[in-house]
């Protein structure tokens, strides 16, 4: 199973999109810290679509790249981690 890429290895277009979604979704700094800790653990993710629910937001990805943030009530596609 692939591991989620570190922030420095995510393509610029994806990073820019994630930053925009963080602002749009009003993701709090303390919640981003939870995400950072999770990413630092180098989690394995399935090939294909996946998501991780942090309670106040969900991060969705495909293969080794996170792709977007969702609000708690928004439906996510893929395998739940």
The answer as to whether 1 is a domain residue is no
pLDDT band (50, 70, 90) for residue 60? very high
Q: Quote the number of domains for the chain.
A: 1
CB atoms within 10 A of CB 58: 20
pLDDT of 52 higher than 90: yes
What is the spatial distance between Cα 66 and Cα 15, in angstroms, rounded to a whole number?
A: 9
Helix or strand or coil: residue 35?
A: helix
Q: 8-35, pLDDT tens digit by residue? A: 888 999 989 888 888 888 888 888 899 8
For the entire predicted model, the pTM comes to: 0.85
> For residues 57 and 69, is the Cβ–Cβ distance under 8 A?
yes
Range of the domain at 19: 7-80
Residue pointed to by tokens 């609000």: 71
What is the 8-class DSSP label of residue 61? E
Share of the chain above pLDDT 70, in %: 100
CB atoms within 10 A of CB 79: 13
């Amino acid at each position: 199973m692939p591991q989620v890429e570190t922030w420095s290895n995510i393509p610029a277009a994806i990073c820019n999109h994630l930053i925009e979604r963080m602002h749009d979704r009003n993701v709090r700094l303390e919640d981003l810290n939870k995400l950072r800790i999770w990413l630092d653990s180098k989690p394995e993710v399935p090939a294909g679509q996946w998501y991780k629910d942090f309670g106040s937001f969900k991060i969705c990805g495909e293969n080794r790249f996170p792709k977007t943030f969702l609000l708690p009530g928004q439906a996510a596609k893929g395998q739940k981690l």
